[in-house]
Amino acid sequence: MIKSIKEISEIKDVADTITSEVQKHVVGFGDITRSLIIALLVGGHVLMEGFPGTGKTLLATLFARTLGLEVGRIQSTSDLMPSDITGTRIYNPKIQEFEFKAGPIFGNVIVVDEINRAPPKTQSALLECMQEKQVSVDGFSSKLDIPFMIIATKNAIEFEGTFPLPEAQLDRFLFRLIMEYLDESSEIEIIRRKTEKALDIKTVVEKSAIVNAMSLIHTEIKAGENVLEYISEVVRGTSNIPRVVLGGSPRASVGLLYAAKGYAAVTEGRKYIVPDDVKAVAFEVLNHRLLLRQDTLLDSPEAREGWGIPYLRKILSDSLDGIAVPI
């Protein structure tokens, strides 16, 4: 088990170890696992979206279990209350005082399953947790432990009994990761594994190592002025895309910087960012931050499928291609 990290180059080894352990239990989605690791190490949150049965909750849960962290799980339902997430103050007659009973949000990695099934009032209970890393109940505020990460899942085509996520909440997710159906060979491998004895997933990295890695990424990975300008142009360019009503915000620019830092560390153990790092994470950072015109997909074949992801990929790719890459 990895207990500490002292160099940026070691972060790649940690990421490879986590990915290898997850892949023993999950077929495919290695890129999704890598993005989860990046989000964890830069202090971001992740929204995993895909068709029912693609393994969103399974992957999120198994990833969390490879870490030496406190893991929580919240199952969203239409009657879920904010206090069911944050906790509440309960009167203790023995000491004649109110005591705070912490909710499941008090952990390090919190899996929020089917987040869009929770009503808006309950969804809003997550806003402070995600942004300020604290919980306020009855006028009392409690800091959440670091690292703190929310992995929320959302089905792509279910609308009955669901509530849309407001733009302010979507903007607080560093990534929206899209999980699509696997190819035939991968699906056969899934079926084959179900005929074998299940393996127990192992914890491969301790909390101390994760905290070390987070500090190294934020303090030692540098971005040149030309890269910072490129990030700004990429995000500002989303506002100029035809049929986009609202583009990325300054929070998106910061998120793109952090994600690029994480990508450089996780994939190559590098101490600096290059434009290719920015391009590699741009879709995951920006795809949920664009507000499209309501008629954008009416004439598109993606609309008949109830999912506009191919369209988003194209317009973001075209936008990136139109921006000069710094040398």
- The span from the CA of 235 to the CA of 199, in Å, is 43
Give residues with Cβ within 8 angstroms of 107, minimum separation 6: 69, 70, 71, 72, 145, 148
**Which CATH homologous superfamily contains domain 222-327?**
Magnesium chelatase subunit I, C-Terminal domain (1.10.8.80)
Q: Quick one: pLDDT at residue 303? A: 46
Instruction: Tell me whether residue 240 is exposed, middle or buried, using C-beta atoms within 10 angstroms of its C-beta: 0 to 12, 13 to 18, 19 or more.
Output: exposed
What is the pLDDT tens value at each position of the chain, 327 positions in all?
A: 888 888 999 999 999 999 999 988 888 888 999 999 999 999 999 999 988 888 898 899 999 999 989 999 999 998 999 989 998 888 888 887 888 788 899 999 999 999 999 998 888 889 889 999 999 887 788 899 999 999 999 987 766 778 888 888 899 999 999 988 887 888 888 888 777 776 688 899 999 999 999 999 999 999 999 999 999 999 999 988 888 888 888 999 999 999 999 999 999 999 999 999 999 999 999 999 888 876 665 555 544 444 578 888 888 998 898 888 887
The DSSP bridge partners found for residue 68 are: 206
- The span from the CA of 15 to the CA of 258, in Å, is 16
- The span from the CA of 151 to the CA of 158, in Å, is 19
The DSSP bridge partners found for residue 73 are: 111
Instruction: Tell me whether residue 39 is exposed, middle or buried, using C-beta atoms within 10 angstroms of its C-beta: 0 to 12, 13 to 18, 19 or more.
Output: buried
Give SS3 for 246: strand
- The span from the CA of 230 to the CA of 324, in Å, is 8
Q: Which two tokens stand for residue 213?
A: 């890695």
- The span from the CA of 42 to the CA of 322, in Å, is 28
pTM reported for the whole predicted model: 0.90
- The span from the CA of 194 to the CA of 165, in Å, is 35
Q: Which two tokens stand for residue 263?
A: 């990508």
Give CATH 3.40.50.300 domain extents, the chain. Answer: 1-220
**Separation in Å, CA 87 to CA 38, 99, 105, 106, 222:** 29, 11, 8, 9, 39
- Return the ∠ at Cα 11 (arms to 106 and 8), rounded to 5°: 115
Q: Quick one: pLDDT at residue 87? A: 86
Sole residue written with tokens 């890459």: 325
> Which fold would CATH assign to domain 1-220?
Rossmann fold (3.40.50)
Give CATH 1.10.8.80 domain extents, the chain. Answer: 222-327
Q: Which of 231, 203, 217 is nearest to 268 (CA)?
A: 217
DSSP H/E element including 217: helix 207-220
* Cα within 13 Å of Cα(157), Cβ side: 15
- The span from the CA of 173 to the CA of 234, in Å, is 18
Q: Quick one: pLDDT at residue 298? A: 59
